[in-house]
Structure formats: structure tokens, C-alpha cells
Amino acid sequence: MQKKNKVRIYLDYAATTPVDPAVLRAMRPYFGVHFGNAGSVHSFGQIASAALDRSRERIAAVLGAEFREVIFTGSATEANNLVLRGAVKRFRELFPERTPELVVSSIEHESVLETCRDLERDGARVRYVPVTREGVVDMRALKAALGPGTVLVSVMYANNEIGTVQPVAEIAERVRAMRGERAYPLFHTDAVQAFQYLPSDARALGADFMTISAHKIYGPKGIGVLYARQVYDSRLSRAGGVTKINVKRVPHVSPQITGGGQEFGLRSGTENVPLVVGAAEAVARAVAGREREAARVRVLRDGFWKKLRAAWPGVRLNGGVASRLPNNLNVWFPGRRAEELLIHLDRRGIAVSSGAACSARSLEPSYVIQALGFSRERARESVRFTLGRQTTTMELDKTAKVLNEIKKAK
């Protein structure tokens, strides 16, 4: 049991982040004074609706999106499900005689991989593209996986476990070249880990869909953001001897949650205005300080890696060095189980992880590290350190010192 005055060091920012005080201040009025339902016509509802619109506009400006292309969901996991399931459902509505095919990388987040497996059980085809030892998608394998039946390609912007940054703009370009003048294939990127540190203009990147999670960027839990590109559908109609061109905006996905038709019909349910406001504030603050914070944590991360190698000779890095998020280290400790190290560190007040937060409690070895071509044993002996806004040099020095003491104690 930890002593009350023990210094606590948090190095698990890829799992979640503390809510920024400014985000809390922005949200607070909408839990109390401005508690109205955004769908109500009276003044309480109008205030909530205005806040919803302002938040959508703020995020749209950051993403290079149109107002109607920003969709709020209950989480990034829900947003990923909406894209994958919604794209397949829409394709089947348009082409009921054809079998939908998905192409995803082998190291996607479980919300993508498990959804793909479920869709496979429902008759869809899924092609899983391998990655290199550095965790980068094999571009030749990706090209070979694309075919005339491909509905959607999903490759995450940056990996949540090893921090590898994918060449998403290049992947999007290949998908567009395959698409030509047709509607498919579409391209989705999960930018949950990348958003804090990397450019996020969805249109510039060439994404048709992009997923963001507020709680990974110092915003509240329980709110996800989906950029969903819409297209114009032009159809001729004739009435009273007059031919008209009917132009309407249509999404590339069909809704998975139906009801009152909120979020432009893509995600029904009363809008969670406080969390939406918090998400917009978190997005704005992440972008405003992005380059400065990325540079700061990169210096800290590189210094920590040097000290860690001195404290524990023989450790190895999982994933590449050059194309990696600036706050991420995923380290192999040969001969020492990750759960053992996690327990020792936690007893000393240091929080790290052995993989994705959503599956860490199962203590299963990381499928991401195994997808790099490494053994289950190496996966069981790997620990993830992720830095954030509150991380200091003193904390990292302390962590390296504690690890050295753990090594000597065995």
C-alpha cells in the first residue's frame, strides 16, 4: 500500500490524460446553469444548441472540415465502429449483390480489429496488411490487398502501443488512385494517439474519415469526434413537366444508432453538450501548443532513453526510432516479465503500462509487438512509457533510478 506522501509519477499518457483546468472551466456552465437539451426550442435549448454549434465549428476549422462533417459520438471506439460497420452497411444498401471487403493493418486498435472480425462473421471479407519490424505498413502488401471490391481501408495515424507513425498521406493517395472516379474505396485513419503531436487537417491528409478521442488530449472521457467526409448526390426529378436537379449532401456511412436523428442522422441520442464543449476546448488547446509540446517531450523522451539504457543495460526498443510519436517508448526488458515490473514500479509510485489500456488487465502479450515479428516472450517482457504535459526531467531521472534498483535487487 502506497504512503500518502509518496511522490506519484504518471508515465501512461497514451492510456488517458488529466483534464486541462481550462477545459473544466469551459464545461462547467453546461452541467448547471446552461443545462438545456440542444433539441428543445425554448431559450434553455437554444443556449445549448448554440454551444453545440460553436464547438462543432471550432473542431471543423482545425480539421479542415465542413460543419456537417464533424460528428460527435460517445467514444473513439464508437466512432471507429460507426465507420467500419456504417461503411459496410451503406455498401450493402447500394450493392446488395456484392461482398464488401475491408483492408486494415495488423496493428490497428482493438476497436478496429474486433469490429472487423465481427463483420467477417457476418459475411464481409477482411484483408490484414502486415507491418515491418519498425511497425510501418508494408506498402507493397497494401497495394496487393486493394481490389475492385474494397470498400474501406483503415490504417491508424500512429500506433497506441509502439508509437509508430504511418505515412497516412501516402496511403490516402494510393487509395484515391485506386478509387478514381468511383465512390470506393474509402480511407479511414484512427488519429487518437497522433492528434496531440501531428498535423490534423483531415482533408490535407486525404482522409475520408478521421477519429479523435478527447480524453487522450486533456479533455473529458466519454466523447469521441469523427470527421466524416460527405459528398454531393445529384439526381434528376420531373414534376409538372419540369425537370429539376436535386442536390443533397450524403454521407458514406449508414447510422448504427437510430432514433431522433441527431448528428445529421448519423448518431441519434441527446447531445452531451458539456462534453462536446470540453472536447472542442481540448482540441483547440492541443493544436495551439502542438509543436512546442512535441519538441519538449521529444527532448525528455530521448534523454530518458539514454538514462534507461545506462540503468538497465541490454534493453531494446520495440518499433522504429525515426517515425515515432515524440512521447513514446516501448521497451523490451529481456528476462523480466512486464507485469512484475509494473507491480514494482507501482509500489514506488510510478505508473506505466504493458500495452493498450483497454486490454492491459487481461495480461495477454501484445499482439502489436508480435505483429512486428517478435516472440510472445518478448511481448510479455515489454513495457510502454508515454510522456505528457506534466512530465519532468526529475520524474524521468527518478524512474530510471528505480528501474536500476529493481534490476540490482533480483
- Domain containing 269 equals 21-287
Q: Count H helices and E strands in the chain, helices first.
A: 13, 14
Considering the domain architecture, whether residues 272 and 304 belong to the same structural domain is answered as no
Q: Rounded to whole angstroms, how far apart are CA atoms 332 and 34?
A: 50
Considering the domain architecture, whether residues 296 and 252 belong to the same structural domain is answered as no
At residue 19, what is the residue type? V
Considering the domain architecture, whether residues 326 and 385 belong to the same structural domain is answered as yes
Residue among 358, 375, 393, 401 flagged as catalytic:
358
Q: Tell me if 3 is assigned to some domain.
A: no
Please identify which residue in the block is written with the cell numbers 475520408. Answer: 208
How far are the Cα atoms of 119, 262, 279 from residue 283, in angstroms, in the given order?
32, 22, 6
Q: Which residues of 106-223 form beta strands (DSSP E)?
A: 125-129, 150-154, 186-190, 209-213
pLDDT band at 242 (very low <50, low <70, confident <90, very high): low
Q: Given this model, what pLDDT does residue 7 score?
A: 78
Considering the domain architecture, whether residues 252 and 365 belong to the same structural domain is answered as no
Considering the domain architecture, whether residues 195 and 89 belong to the same structural domain is answered as yes
Instruction: Write the DSSP assignment of 75-90 as a string of letters.
Output: -HHHHHHHHHHHHHHH
Instruction: Write the DSSP assignment of 229-257 as a string of letters.
Output: -EEEEEEEEEETTEEEEEEEEEESS--SS
How far are the Cα atoms of 302, 308, 371, 402 from residue 397, in angstroms, in the given order?
12, 9, 32, 9
- The whole-chain average pLDDT of the chain stands at 93
Q: Rounded to whole angstroms, how far apart are CA atoms 112 and 38?
A: 31
pLDDT digits (tens, 9 = 90+) for 36-58: 999 999 999 999 999 999 999 99
For the segment 114-138, the average pLDDT, to the nearest whole number, is 98
- What is the C-alpha radius of gyration for the chain, rounded to an integer number of angstroms? 23
Considering the domain architecture, whether residues 260 and 310 belong to the same structural domain is answered as no
Q: Tell me if 89 is assigned to some domain.
A: yes
Q: How many domains does the chain have?
A: 2
Considering the domain architecture, whether residues 231 and 308 belong to the same structural domain is answered as no
For the segment 96-121, the average pLDDT, to the nearest whole number, is 97
Q: Given this model, what pLDDT does residue 360 score?
A: 47
Considering the domain architecture, whether residues 194 and 78 belong to the same structural domain is answered as yes
Cβ(193)–Cβ(216) below 8 Å: yes
The CATH number given to whatever domain includes residue 223 is 3.40.640.10
Q: Given this model, what pLDDT does residue 180 score?
A: 81
Q: Count CA atoms closer than 13 A to 220's CA, side-chain side.
A: 21
Residue 358 is a catalytic residue:
yes
Considering the domain architecture, whether residues 241 and 326 belong to the same structural domain is answered as no
pLDDT digits (tens, 9 = 90+) for 207-229: 999 999 999 999 999 999 999 99
Considering the domain architecture, whether residues 108 and 179 belong to the same structural domain is answered as yes
